[in-house]
């Protein structure tokens, strides 16, 4: 990977954000101040700031599912995706769209799952057999 993304958004409680992003997702905490905290989000930088979270709606259609828009996430290879899906399932995450395979046997075949952080921010994690198949 030659570049990393940075995404900054609002949450209402930094301690609750730490509990979720570190305790549930397994992210590492980075720098922080009284009004924000950075996380290593699977190799990318999230900056969570105190404020009102962005509004989302299930307006996107992907296959047979309506998905929350806007949303963010990351793409990984299937073995890591399955490990994350198991960890989240074992922690009884309430999935918006549970872990499953979509577009089976087609171009774009991928594993996916959608869930919300404690502030309603939608997250999607995708798993591909090869990064060459993303596009």
Q: How far is CA 36 from the centre of its chain?
A: 19
9-64 pLDDT, tens digit per residue, is 999 999 999 999 999 999 999 999 999 999 999 999 999 999 999 999 999 888 78
Which helix or strand (DSSP H or E) is residue 41 part of?
strand 36-41
Q: What is the mean pLDDT of residues 83-90?
A: 96
> 57-133: which CATH architecture?
Roll (3.10)
Domain 6-50, classified CATH 3.40.50.300, yes or no: no
The reply to whether 57-133 shares the fold of 6-50 is no
* Average predicted confidence (pLDDT) for the chain: 94
Q: Which two tokens stand for residue 115?
A: 């869930």
Quick one: pLDDT band at residue 96, thresholds 50, 70, 90? very high
DSSP 8-state symbol, 133: G
- Segments making up each domain of the chain, as ranges: 6-50, 57-133
Residues 89, 53, 28, 5, Cα dihedral to 10°: 100
Residues paired with 29 in a beta bridge: 39
Q: What is the mean pLDDT of residues 97-124?
A: 94
DSSP 8-state symbol, 117: -
**By percentage, how much of the chain surpasses pLDDT 70?**
99
């Amino acid at each position: 990977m030659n570049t990393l993304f940075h995404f900054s958004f609002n949450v209402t409680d930094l301690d609750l954000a730490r509990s979720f992003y570190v305790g549930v997702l397994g992210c590492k905490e980075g720098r922080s101040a009284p009004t924000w905290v950075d996380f290593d989000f699977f190799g990318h930088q999230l900056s969570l700031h105190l404020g009102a979270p962005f509004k989302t709606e299930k307006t996107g259609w992907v296959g047979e599912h309506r998905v929350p828009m806007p949303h963010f996430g990351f793409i990984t290879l299937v073995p890591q995706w399955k490990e994350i899906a198991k960890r989240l399932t074992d922690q009884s995450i309430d999935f918006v769209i549970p872990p499953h395979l979509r577009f089976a046997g087609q171009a774009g075949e991928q594993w996916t799952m959608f869930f919300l952080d404690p502030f309603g921010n939608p997250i999607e994690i995708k798993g591909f057999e090869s990064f060459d198949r993303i596009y």
